[in-house]
Structure 1
Amino acid sequence: MTGSYTVPSSEVPGYSAIYRHPQFKDGTQGNEFSKVTTLYELFLFTVENNPKKEFFGSRVYYPETDSFGKYEWLTTTDVAEVVDNLGAGLDSVFSTHAPELNEATGQQPIGILSINRPEWLLTELAAFRSRRYSIGVSDIAGVESAEYNINSADTRVVVCSMDKILRMLDRIEHTPRLKVIISMDRLDCSKPSIATQAFSAMTAALLKDKAESLGIVLLDMDQVIQMGRANPTEPTVPSPDDLCTICFTSGTSGAQKGAMLTHGAFVSATRGTYLHLAPKKSTYLSFMSLVHIFDRFSIYQQMFSWIRIGFFSGDNSRILNDMQELRPTIVTLIPMILNRIYDKVAAATLGANGIKGWMSRQAFKSKVKRISSGKGYRHALWDKLVFNKISRLFGGRVELMVSGATPLAPEVQDFFRACLSCQVIQGYGQTETAAGGLVQSRDDLSTNTIGIPAPGVDIRLRSIPEMGYNVTDMPCPRGEMMLRGQLTLRGYHNNPEKTAELMDGKWMATGDVVMVNPNGTFTILDRINNIIKSASVMWVEPSSLELIYVKHKLVSFVYLYGFERAHELVAIVVPNATTFAPWARTIVKNPEADIAELCQSKDVAAALTKELRQLASQHKIPPPAMIGAVHLEPTSLDQVNRDMYTSTMKIRRHMVNHHYKIKFKELYSTLDCITDPKF
């Protein structure tokens, strides 16, 4: 089941045929799970079909040693009881302190601000119980971002971890409509967590005094649960057309936009992917921010079966330790994280010297060949000698790894297939589609593809003739991907102009340029806004080229820039920490030079430019897409300036261009470019 189904006679001028899932040719999702129409019903379905099974898990925290113990679990029955009491308690809180309905939605929003932990999902599910909807609040990009999320959705009640409260109170004038803050942690600090490290019962009491002086009601979650026990209420269940969340886009191309997603949209997105992948009895580590769509989508999708959700310990540096303790069976990651793990593990194995390196390379070649030929993911000899050690880093039980957000380099996808002896697939979705859309089939062993439409999703391409992409291109149609289905957003909150730009009738314009492969799968070429028109009137796709250039053993990251009067590109390059230094030291003839010093050398930059041009020639990259000059950056771009990445670790190209605009001008001046780039 690798390729998609082409709807006969569905082409119209300027648009390709419509593509659907091959098992759901009528464009529906069939009748399975038809009684599940909201995320609240999905939750009740999970509880009813899996009573008293482990559901939400978190690791015990020991503040004396700043360490974590084993996972402790709430069962499905426990979670249902907490959700019911918390939901009733929220009814009391809202009716007393924030009874107003949002004018645009007719419902009530509730903000959630914390890292991933059980209380995050408990709050969202309790909100669903009374037709409320969640506002994922993110402060990763700065406190102003969190305040923007709260204010733009007119949020009066926020549930957050204790470590967020003081800053919210200190800047309360920036969120003037906020009335209630509910702490996920006990305000008496009687149950320590990673969020209570800086607090004691005395300092927590000062928080309550400060909140009272500012006219803010400060409660903790246990108090709200007790309210619910004392004053139970009947659930006011949502309908499929009710909002379940306003999720803010990651802001890759400008200001965040609040995507209004209904229960029907979220159920359609998750049910479609579940019908395609059918995960059973999953154990899942939640650490990709729940503020955004991808992690929530992954969790709700697996709730159509039984899922154990273990939440990470709260420290990104301990994620592999969390995996080894939890031993997940399904892992979802973004390429940036996978690339970092790949760089370290591949350098220590494939890039090693001597017998270790030779054996690792032989093992990798043999394993990839075996997997590609359909003979299975296991190899008795090489797994025992090489790959089982790597697999144990992830807990040793991973059956399925799903990558999303941006394309995954083919060699990285093959590497993890070999190392983990499991299926590694890519998918495609956007905030505006509740993260649903397309996904590779489990039996698809190819790379550089996002798979086929999920059940219930229609895909077609729209020609972009001014860029040379046409649905009539042979042998592979190319154009902007358009998406239709119940999973699309209701619109952008308070932003009808952007909503109108997004929609073409019932079709949503994704902004991604794709190609339909001969086997009916789809490949992303680039974002429309990222594509560069060169001086030779050739359209250059930087994201696709970056995947080629980053294959060079001396680099770990490449960012390309060009403009319409330039005859070639320039690049920001972050070197590979393992391979670059020994190579560069031979050029500067200084065996003691550190990375920072090597990156400042013009001779090293020129030599690396030559290396990358040779790689480009091997891949038959045309001259306008070749690199003419590079700037070497000794650290990753998120360490240079955090604003160059979204909170979901997608690159903000406009921010990178702004940050390096002087450097780009300098690079082009070395190429004798007669016209300055425009920013």
Structure 2
Amino acid sequence: MQSVEVKGAPEIPGEGKPRRNACSPDKLLDFPPEATTLYENFLHGVKISGSNNFLGRRPIVDGVAQPYVWQTYSEVQQRVANFGSGLCKFGLKPKAYLGFFSINTPEYVIAELACNQYNLVSVPLYDTLGTEALKFIINQTALEFVFTTSNKGRTLLDMKESIPTLKTIITSDDADQDFIDQAHGLKVQVIEFKTVENDGKTHKAEEVNPKPEDIATICYTSGTTGMPKGVVLTHKNFMAIVCSLIFLGEKGKMIKITKDDVHISYLPLAHVYEKTSAATFIYAGCAIGFYQGDTLKLLDDIAELKPTIFISVPRLLNRVYDKVFASLKGKSKVAQWMFTTAYNAKKNALSKGQIDHWLWDKLVFAPIRERLGGRVKAILSAAAPISPDVMDFLKICFSADVFEGYGQTENAAALTISLYGDLTSGHVGPPQACSEVKLVDVPEMNYTSNDKPYPRGEICVRGNAVFKEYYKEPGKTKEVIDKEGWCHTGDIGMWDELGRLVIVDRLKNIFKLAQGEYIAPEKIENVYCKHELISQAFVYGESLQTSLVAIIVPDPDALILWAKQNNLEKYSFEELCELPDTKKHILQALVNHGKTNDLKGFENVKNIYLTTEGFSVENDLLTPTFKLKRHQAKIKFQKEIEKLYSEISQT
């Protein structure tokens, strides 16, 4: 068993007993040795790897990326202290907020480590939120200082009238005169990173180190409807996850991270997934190399860096999977036969606990392994569900240990993780050793703790990694964290025969696509239903897919009018709904209508099915208050949905 019920936990009607990681059944872990804060976490890395490589970047000369250039842990430690002192000199006091609006760079990490040393709070900002959300975050946190690049800094200056608190921009690169003049005209001070660092070098500030319960960051969720929520995470929240991962590694249940490991940082540090990953690597004294900032050149950076542990998301791993099988089609029949034979042989070996093969790894899979640099020994996928087929593919082709994690911003990114040696796919493993998890009945969706063969329900988590609150949102905090400290995730899970968690559904009308984007289908449906051709719409997205599909009930009058205008008047309403031309026209109309109404690209549907039967109370697709019953709609149109996705995959 990978998880066990908590001893002495009471029987509560309507929910299952809490479960903990079987490696730590009696205690929820909190801190790894010698580190109770993210600053002490860094000091531990310095202690282990003082003269070893820490932060690496590729200089660009005449547009060409050069080999990685490195700074050691000891060198970075001095720069962190200097930059932190400089921040204090320019007016930032303990527990003040510093905004971060930048791609991943060594300067980003140095600035964030300085926040950890001088007890400042980082507030990440990122472009995909949109300008209105950026304004909301800056105004809600009353940001005065933002660390950024000149390019992204211009975005802030363009919205300066809407963000009156902004006073100082710290640029990680050289600011040109036009940018400086624009800022001064708006009464915004521009300071270059090196200036802050040099001032701190000559004007040492007294350190005020954080305590475990102090806030480390306010990490805003991408949101689904309305503005994003600021998740308040403490130093203890992050250290609990680091502790769990280190502990499981020592127990032989996770890959054991050492100072010899190398990590490539390309997933945004603005998101808690990369932030928690980086903290774990820093504790172990690993080397962290950064990508150039262009995802199209990421594989080139990987080939140069040769990471040993690859942290990724399904969207990118799916791309590797697709490219390998697409390239196979262009090869000879002999090469295809050899690949298929090798693949099937290794797939059969997975059930016996084997990921290596002395012949096939050299003969067939070596070129594929080189795509990730040739040294990867472990791959971790998280942020969204990944297909079991892709998980098996990674184990087979890279001969690597592949882990799948599940978590949210609200629990520092890591709620569960699959364990070392478990080569089966389709689950996300047991709880982290710092958390306990229970499933609460959702009778309206027929998920209960008494379900056979396995109990199901809403996933609730409690422990040392659970966030403190939503920033300035006490009402929303109470909706998620109950009086007993349980954080309600809104996801539906199931315990399997080994006590591993399987994600089976979503409680709320919110879900993630494979690339990790949150979708609020009601918002999209409301937009679509304003189009004259649409009577009703059911928007659906599979968590293993990157796009949305929809079941559409056209408006009969509007559709017949369109038919007359296009010489299709001989067809009835029912016949029109079966015509490919009708479907093509309505789909394009919806895409255009979505763009006009500010739907993002991933929010527009990629395929539709037209039905003449309206959603109603009588056919159990609407509630008595005329709200769509999504669970029932999914069941009713399951075959149509599968066909829609099949058609997308063939285009």
Matches within 5 A, 1:244-643: 244-252=216-224, 254-276=226-248, 277=254, 278-280=256-258, 281-349=260-328, 354-374=333-353, 376-505=354-483, 506-530=485-509, 547=544, 559-561=548-550
Q: Distance in 2 between matches of 1:144 and 1:15?
A: 40
Matched with 2:127 is 139
Residues 410, 491 of structure 1: alpha-carbon distance in 2 compared, 3 angstrom cutoff: same
In structure 1, what is the Cα distance between the partners aligned to 2:550 and 2:331?
Answer: 33
Write the deviation string for residues 147-205 of structure 1: whole angstroms up to 9, x where unpaired: 32222211110010121222322321121001110110133xxxxxxxxxxxxxxxx12
Instruction: Indicate the larger mover: 20-29 or 462-471.
Output: 20-29
Residue deviations 1:580-635 (CA, integer Å, cap 9, x gap): xxxxxxxxxxxxxxxxxxxxx966999xxxxxxxxxxxxxxxxxxxxxxx9699x9
Deviations 1:289-309 (A, max 9, x none): 111101111111222312110
Letter matched to residue 77 of structure 2: A
Counterpart position of 1:572: none
Q: Residues 215-226 of structure 1: matches in 2 within 5 Å?
A: 215-226=187-198
Aligned-partner Cα distance in 2 for 1:306–1:58: 17
**Paired residue type of 1:510:** T
TM-score normalised by L of structure 1: 0.77
Asked if structure 2 preserves the Cα contact closer than 8 Å seen for 1:43 and 1:303, the reply is: yes
Is the Cα contact below 8 Å between 1:39 and 1:263 reproduced in 2?
A: yes
2-structure distance, mates of 1:226, 1:417: 48
SS of match in other structure, 1:384: helix
Q: 1:130 aligns with which of 118, 143, 163?
A: 118
CA distance 1:351–1:446, change in 2 (3 Å): farther
Give distance in 2, aligned partners of 1:4 and 1:560: 37
Q: 8 Å contact 2:376–2:398 — kept in the other structure?
A: yes
Shift of 1:640: 12
- Code of the aligned partner of 2:27: G
- Deviation (angstroms), 1:531: 8.4
Q: Which letter does structure 2 place at the counterpart of 1:334?
A: V
Q: In structure 2, how many angstroms separate the alpha carbons of the residues matched to 1:210 and 1:365?
A: 62
Distance 1:173 1:632, change over 3 A: closer
SS of residue paired to 2:68? strand
Residue 562 of structure 1 and its aligned partner are, at CA, apart by 5.8
CA distance in 2, matches of 1:148, 1:498: 17
Deviations 1:329-376 (A, max 9, x none): 1111111121122112122227866222222222211111112211x3
- For residue 41 of structure 2, what is the aligned residue in structure 1? 42
Please state how far the C-alpha of 1:436 moved relative to its aligned partner.
Answer: 1.9
Q: Judging changes above 3 Å, is the alpha-carbon distance between structure 1 residues 252 and 359 closer, same or farther for their aligned structure 2 residues?
A: farther
Deviations 1:446-483 (A, max 9, x none): 11111001112100110001110001112200000100
Q: Secondary structure at the match of 2:279?
A: helix
Q: 1:644, CA displacement in angstroms? A: 4.4
Question: Which amino acid in 1 is paired with 2:91?
Answer: F
- Does residue 112 (structure 1) correspond to residue 84 (structure 2)? The answer is no
The answer as to whether partners of 1:141 and 1:643 remain within 8 angstroms in 2 is no
Secondary structure in structure 1 of the residue aligned to 2:60: strand
What are the residue-to-residue correspondences of 1:143-182 with 2, within 5 Å?
Answer: 143-182=131-170
| Mean Cα deviation higher: 81-90 or 336-345 | 336-345
Q: Which secondary structure does the structure 2 equivalent of 1:291 belong to?
A: coil
Aligned residue for 1:524, secondary structure, equals strand
Distance 1:510 1:527 in 2: 9
Kept after mapping to 2: 8 A contact 1:27/1:458: no
| 1:473 counterpart letter in structure 2 | D
Residues 41, 602 of structure 1: CA spacing in aligned structure 2 closer, same or farther, 3 A cutoff? farther
Mean Cα displacement is larger for which, 204-213 or 219-228? Answer: 204-213
2:83 corresponds to which letter in structure 1? L
Does the CA-based 8 Å contact 2:257-2:284 persist in structure 1? Answer: yes
Aligned length in residues = 562
Aligned to 1:18: 18
CA contact (8 A) 2:32 2:239 kept: no
Query: Alpha carbons of 1:350 and 1:24: their partners in 2 closer, same or farther (altered >3 Å)?
Result: farther
Compared with structure 1, are the counterparts of its residues 327 and 605 closer, same or farther at alpha carbon in structure 2 (3 Å cutoff)?
farther
Name the structure 2 match of 1:198: none
Amino acid at match of 1:476: Y
**1:456–1:485 contact (8 Å) kept in structure 2:** yes
Establish whether residue 210 from structure 1 lines up as the match of residue 188 from structure 2. Answer: no
Matched, 1:4 2:6: no
Conservation of the 8 A alpha-carbon contact between 1:272 and 1:454: yes
1:8 Cα deviation (Å)?
3.6
Contact 2:169 2:191 in 1 (8 A): yes
Deviations, residues 641-678 of structure 1 (Å, cap 9, x unaligned): 99647xxxxx7xxxx3xx459x85xx33x444465997
The amino acid that maps onto 2:22 is: P
Contact in 2 for aligned 1:89/1:228 (Cα 8 Å): yes
- Give distance in 2, aligned partners of 1:469 and 1:173: 50
With over 3 angstroms needed to count, the CA separation of the structure-2 counterparts of 1:254 and 1:171, relative to structure 1, is closer
Q: Quick check: 1:138–1:149 contact (8 Å CA) kept in 2?
A: no
- Alpha-carbon distance in structure 1 between the residues aligned to 2:5 and 2:27: 11
SS of 2:80's partner is helix
Q: 1:674 to 1:111 in 2, by over 3 A?
A: closer
Unmatched segments (≥5 aa) in structure 2 = 249-253, 512-520, 522-537, 555-577, 629-651
Query: In structure 1, the residue corresponding to 2:213 is in which secondary structure?
Result: coil
Contact 1:270 1:436 in 2 (8 A): no
- Aligned-partner Cα distance in 2 for 1:181–1:381: 56
2:129, 2:222 within 8 Å by CA — same for their partners in 1?
Answer: no
- 2:78 matches 1:81: yes
CA distance in 2, matches of 1:23, 1:452: 10
The answer as to whether partners of 2:218 and 2:231 remain within 8 angstroms in 1 is: yes
Report the Cα distance in structure 2 between the residues aligned to 1:413 and 1:217, rounded to whole angstroms: 49
Residue 370 of structure 1 aligns to a residue whose secondary structure is helix
Question: One-letter code of the match for 2:463?
Answer: G
Where do 5+ consecutive residues of structure 1 fail to align? 102-106, 188-203, 534-539, 551-556, 567-600, 607-629, 646-650
After TM superposition, the structure 1 = structure 2 runs for residues 639-658 of structure 1, keeping only pairs within 5 Å, are 644=600, 656=603
Task: Kindly state the Cα deviation for residue 494 of structure 1 after the two structures are TM-superposed.
Answer: 0.8
How far off its partner does 1:546 sit? 6.2
Using the alignment, how far apart are the partners of 1:73 and 1:117 within structure 2? Answer: 12
Q: In 2, Cα distance between the equivalents of 1:316 and 1:448?
A: 28
Looking at structure 1, the residues matched to 47 and 447 of structure 2 have their Cα atoms a distance apart, in angstroms, of 50
Deviations 1:272-314 (A, max 9, x none): 1232223223200000011110111111122231211001111
Residues 155 and 603 (structure 1), Cα distance of their counterparts in 2 relative to 1, 3 Å cut: same
TM (norm. structure 2) is 0.80
Task: Give the direction of change, closer, same or farther, for the CA distance of 1:74–1:478 in structure 2 (3 Å limit).
Answer: same
Q: State the alpha-carbon separation in 2 of the partners of residues 404 and 255 from structure 1.
A: 24
User: Within 2, Cα distance between the matches of 1:389 and 1:451?
Assistant: 30
